[in-house]
Amino acid sequence: MKRLSVLVFALSTATGMAACGTHTKSIKFSTTKFAGAEAISVADQARLDANCPDGAPKPLPDWPIGKTEMIFRDGFVLEHSSEWKVPYWVCESLDDADLHGGVPRKNNFRADDKLTVGLRAELSDYKGSGFDRGHQAPAGNQTKSVTLKDETFVLSNMIPQNGNQNQQIWATLEDTVRGWAEQSSTATSVRVITGPVFHTDKDLEQGFSEIDTVGTNNVGVPKAVYKIVVGTVGGERRAVAFLIDNTAQKKPFDFTKFIVTIQSIEEHTGFNFMPKLDPADRVKLETQKGTLFK
């Protein structure tokens, strides 16, 4: 693995995360903004509205997220980093009907042909890296359409994920969220936002972050992975956010130990995840720790 040093411009007080790596070089990113509705087709706007009803996550002011591209699919929408060749965030909507279609899994991992060669991950980047190709929008969330399931295997929907974390605690969390989507008390679809975290508390305090990369395209290895779940339970709108280090985790898994505020994840990633929330909902959903859906 290589290690790159990135300048960052934010402060945070949330949980720290461990990093590893071998080589470093300094780089600096310019900031970028979400293109906005005027640059989106009618079909893509519909996909965005369906998967990100509270608005597409937007960069916070002065955050060095670099060049990005939006990817719109029926099953999920994401913002892809041309620097790190991973999604910064993936939004999806999940309901009971998505989970009982019976379409089997086929591991059709491949580069995303919506992205330019050199600005995307390739299968060769992951080969021999020691990391899983970790889904952000899980294949298990799409069972009613072969196309929808197959599209989850594009590498734009992947991050280099610790195999133990991906296959154990993360898989269990994905199953848990699917269980919430099946609840009769969940009046509307569960909305899920998932993505990588590259910057620890120490990184933000000192103004730079060392990021490990794999492959010839320098695919960024996150230090942690987040998942934000929003739904209506018992007539009340609820949200809960999880932040889990991209390392092996010991059983038994107690997800209450990984609950953080949405605001703290925003501070570590540089994105406002639900920009259309009104102020009252923002205080309720983003600044307070949520609880597990029952």
- Averaged pLDDT for residues 60-71: 91
Q: Is residue 225 part of a domain?
A: yes
Model confidence pLDDT, tens digit, residues 220-257: 999 999 999 999 887 889 999 999 999 999 999 999 99
pLDDT of 25 > 80? The answer is no
Model confidence pLDDT, tens digit, residues 172-214: 999 999 999 887 555 467 999 999 999 998 888 888 889 999 9
Model confidence pLDDT, tens digit, residues 92-119: 999 888 888 788 888 999 999 999 999 9
Q: What range does the domain containing 203 cover?
A: 2-286
The confidence band for 24, taking pLDDT boundaries of 50, 70 and 90, is: very low
Task: Give the CATH number for residue 152.
Answer: 3.40.570.10
Q: Is residue 114 part of a domain?
A: yes
Q: What is the pLDDT of residue 143?
A: 87
Q: Is residue 8 part of a domain?
A: yes
The confidence band for 36, taking pLDDT boundaries of 50, 70 and 90, is: very low
Q: Is residue 292 part of a domain?
A: no
pLDDT of 52 > 90? The answer is yes
Q: Is residue 294 part of a domain?
A: no
- Averaged pLDDT for residues 33-45: 68
Q: What is the pLDDT of residue 61?
A: 87
Number of separate domains in the chain: 1
Nearest partner of 166 among 106, 126, 215, judged by Cα: 126
Preceding amide of 252 cis, omega within 30? yes
Q: Is residue 72 part of a domain?
A: yes
> What percentage of the chain has pLDDT greater than the value 70?
88
Q: Is residue 27 part of a domain?
A: yes
Model confidence pLDDT, tens digit, residues 256-273: 999 999 999 999 999 999
Q: How much is the pTM?
A: 0.90
Nearest partner of 17 among 203, 170, 168, judged by Cα: 203
Q: What is the pLDDT of residue 35?
A: 39
State the average pLDDT for the chain.
88
Phi, psi of 119 (to 5 degrees): -115, 20
Q: Is residue 291 part of a domain?
A: no
Active site residues: 135
Q: Is the dihedral of CA 50, 51, 55, 59 positive or negative?
A: negative
Nearest partner of 87 among 20, 160, 148, 36, judged by Cα: 160
